Amino acid sequence: MPDDVFQFKNAKDSSGFLLWGVSSLWQRKINAGLRPFDLTHAQFVLLASLLWLGNKSVALTQAELASHTRMDTMMVSNVLRTLESKGLLTRKPHPSDTRAKSLALTSKGQKLAEQVVPVVENIDQQFFSQLGANTAKFNQNLAKLIEANQME
């Protein structure tokens, strides 16, 4: 291993490598929890976000959902198509923007989201419980990183 290539002598000194590891472990746990519901993590994020934002927006668009989740717009489109084929959401003409579709959960989608959100929140609570009293500061730091590095 050429010493002049790596900034760190120990992988545990690399924030990016640690974030990758934590993210990978967390996603595996989330995926295991979602498996019985026949949902991928991306499907869950969009479903839960539709439940969350549906109470706050009269006509939620795909672009607004992609912005909220910070997911790629093409990925959002593909995942929404899958959720629609499962009968979990509808896409109807937007009331004021003829180019956009208005997204809404079906009753089946709402029931599933309401069932799965507590499962994922429980996994999150167990996973991040190792932080103890530092959880709020950890969340603030994550929010700071998101704010500073957003890609528009």
Between the alpha carbon of residue 53 and those of residues 3, 42, 125, the distances in Å are 49, 16, 22
Instruction: Give the model's confidence band at 102: pLDDT under 50 very low, under 70 low, under 90 confident, else very high.
Output: confident
Amino acid identity, residue 101?
K
Choosing among 1.10.1670.40, 1.10.10.10, 3.30.750.24, 3.90.50.10, the CATH entry for 25-121 is 1.10.10.10
Tell me which residue of 38, 117, 123, 121 sits closest to 83, measured CA to CA: 38
- Sketch the domain layout of the chain as residue ranges: 25-121
Q: Does 152 have pLDDT greater than 60?
A: no
Residue tagged 């934002």 (tokens)? 53
Whether pTM exceeds 0.85: yes
Encode pLDDT of 51-94 as tens digits: 999 866 668 888 899 999 999 999 999 999 999 999 999 988 88
Q: Parallel, antiparallel, or unpaired for β 60-61 and 101-105?
A: antiparallel
